[in-house]
Amino acid sequence: MAQETGRRQNSVLRSLDWWTIGIYLALLVFGWISVCGASYNYGDTDIFSLGSRSGMQIVWIGTSIVLGFVILMLDDRFYDTFSYVIYAALLLLLFATIFNPHQIKGSRSWLVLGPLRLQPAEFAKFATALAVSKLMSTYGFSIHQWKHFAAACAVVVLPMLFIIGQRETGSALVYSAFFLMFYREGMPGSVLFTAVAMVIYFVVGIKYEEVFLWGMPTSLGKFVVLLLVHVFTAGMVYTYCKDRRQTWIILLYTVGATALALFFSKFVIPFDVVWVQLAVSALLIGYLIYGWLSTRLRTYLYIVLFAVGSIAFFNLADFVLNDVMEPHQRVRINVLLGLDEDLAGAGYNVHQSEIAIGSGGLQGKGFLNGTQTKLKFVPEQDTDFIFCTVGEEEGFVGSAGVLLLFLLLILRLIHLAERQPFKFGRVYGYCVLSIFLFHVFINVGMVLGLTPVIGIPLPFFSYGGSSLWGFTILLFIFLRIDAGRNLVRN
DSSP state of 384: T
How many Å apart are CA 286 and CA 253, to the nearest integer?
13
The rounded mean pLDDT for the chain is: 86
Confidence band (pLDDT; 50, 70, 90) for 81?
very high
CA pair distance 227, 300, nearest whole angstrom: 20
Locate the DSSP E strands across 90-165.
111-113, 116-118
Cα Rg, the chain, nearest whole Å: 26
Secondary structure of 237-303 as H, E, C letters: HHHHCCCHHHHHHHHHHHHHHHHHHHHHHHHCCCCCCHHHHHHHHHHHHHHHHHHHHHHCCHHHHHH
Query: Given this model, what pLDDT does residue 298 score?
Result: 83
Segment 202-221, tens digit of pLDDT: 888 888 888 888 878 888 98
pLDDT of residue 30: 93
Lowest mean pLDDT among 53-57, 113-117, 157-161, 366-370: 113-117
Residue 107 — φ and ψ, nearest 5°?
-110, 140
Do 427 and 133 touch, CB atoms closer than 8 A? yes
Q: If residue 345 lies in a helix (H) or strand (E), which one and from where to where?
A: none
Asked if residues 38 and 446 have their Cβ atoms less than 8 Å apart, the reply is: no
Question: Is residue 207 within 8 Å of 149, Cβ to Cβ?
Answer: no
Work out the average pLDDT over 430-442: 95
CB 319 within 8 A of CB 416: no
pLDDT (tens digit per residue) in 122-163: 999 999 999 999 999 999 999 989 899 999 999 999 999 999
439-443: average pLDDT: 93
Residues with Cβ within 8 Å of 460's Cβ and at least 6 positions away in sequence, in order, are 24, 27, 28, 31, 468, 471
Residue 10 class from Cβ within 10 Å (0-12 exposed, 13-18 middle, 19+ buried)?
A: exposed
Mean pLDDT, rounded, for 351-356: 81
pLDDT of residue 351 exceeding 80, the answer is no
Task: Say what the pLDDT of residue 338 is.
Answer: 60
Give the pLDDT confidence of 88-115 residue by residue, as tens digits: 999 999 998 888 766 766 667 777 776 6
Task: Give the sign of the dihedral formed by CA 296, CA 228, CA 235, CA 251.
Answer: positive
CB within 8 A of 104, min separation 6: which ones? Answer: 110, 117
Q: How far apart are the first and last CA of the chain?
A: 12
Is 70 exceeded by the pLDDT of residue 349?
A: yes
Top pLDDT among 374 and 474 is at 474
In order, the DSSP letters of 388-421 are HHHHHHHHHHHHHHHHHHHHHHHHHHHHHHHT-S
Looking at residue 177, the DSSP 8-state letter turns out to be: G
Question: Averaged over 240-255, what is the pLDDT?
Answer: 89
427 pLDDT higher than 60: yes
Averaged pLDDT, 351-371: 82
Distance CA 185, CA 176 (A): 15
Does 72 have pLDDT greater than 60?
yes
Q: How far is CA 176 from CA 195, 229, 445, in A?
A: 10, 24, 17
What pTM did the predictor assign? 0.85
Q: How confident is the model at residue 297 (pLDDT cuts 50, 70, 90)?
A: confident
What is the rounded average pLDDT of the residues 44-54?
A: 77
Q: What is the pLDDT of residue 196?
A: 87
Predicted confidence band of residue 1 (pLDDT cuts 50, 70, 90)? very low
- Give residue 76's pLDDT: 87
Amino acid 490: pLDDT: 47
Sign of the CA dihedral running 193, 198, 203, 207: positive
Of residues 171, 189, 254, 252, the one with CA closest to residue 438: 171
Long-range contacts of 289-298 (CB under 8 A, 24+ apart): 291/241, 291/246, 297/241
Q: Which residues contact 137 (CB under 8 A, 6 or more apart)?
A: 80, 422, 423, 424, 427
pLDDT of 330 over the 80 cut: no
d(CA 331, CA 329): 5
- How much of the chain exceeds pLDDT 90, in percent? 47
User: Nearest-CA neighbor of 93 among 60, 134, 132, 123?
Assistant: 123
CA torsion, ordered 460, 33, 397, 450, to nearest 10 deg: 50
pLDDT band at 65 (very low <50, low <70, confident <90, very high): very high
Give CA–CA dist 96/112, Å, rounded. 13
- Give the separation between CA 55 and CA 49, rounded to whole angstroms: 5
